[in-house]
């Protein structure tokens, strides 16, 4: 991909997963200061969300739940957020857990199916 900086490599992700200090924040990624900025679906707005939620490392993110992050963010901000924020959280968590980067919109059908079954709690 011409002109696009590389994200976190699978080899580095594997080393981080085996680290004994699982809460140690990552160093600069893509020249940005936020430790999660190298994940595929994480831009400045999501970095700001993670900051407000207290998520500062790949290991913390991997242990997170998109439902919990989404509802906590709504509580912190005191307002409803676009449901696609849940999709972005799910994609980032999936990448942190597996090393596989998927587009955030691939998680939209999962969220919609769960909402249809009444599995997503209302604020």
Please, what sign has the CA dihedral across residues 77, 93, 101, 15? positive
Q: 111-117: list long-range contacts, CB under 8 Å, 24+ apart.
A: 111/83, 111/86, 111/87, 115/83
> What is the reported pTM?
0.73
Query: What pLDDT does residue 14 have?
Result: 58
Convert the pLDDT of each residue in 57-111 to its tens digit.
Answer: 999 999 999 999 999 999 999 999 999 999 999 999 999 999 999 999 999 999 9
Contacts of 36 (CB under 8 A, 6+ apart): 26, 29, 42, 46, 47, 50, 55, 56, 57, 58, 61, 92
Q: What is the mean pLDDT of the chain?
A: 81
């Amino acid at each position: 991909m011409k002109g696009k900086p590389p994200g976190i490599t699978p080899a580095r992700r594997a080393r981080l997963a085996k680290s004994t200090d699982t809460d140690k924040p990552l160093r600069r990624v893509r020249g940005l200061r936020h430790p999660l900025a190298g994940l595929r679906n994480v831009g400045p707005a999501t970095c700001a969300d993670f900051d407000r939620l207290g998520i500062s490392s790949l290991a913390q993110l991997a242990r997170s739940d998109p439902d919990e992050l989404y509802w906590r963010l709504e509580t912190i901000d005191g307002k409803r957020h676009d449901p696609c924020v849940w999709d972005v959280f799910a994609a980032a968590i999936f990448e942190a857990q597996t090393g596989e980067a998927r587009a955030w919109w691939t998680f939209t059908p999962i969220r919609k199916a769960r909402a249809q079954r009444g599995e997503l709690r209302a604020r």
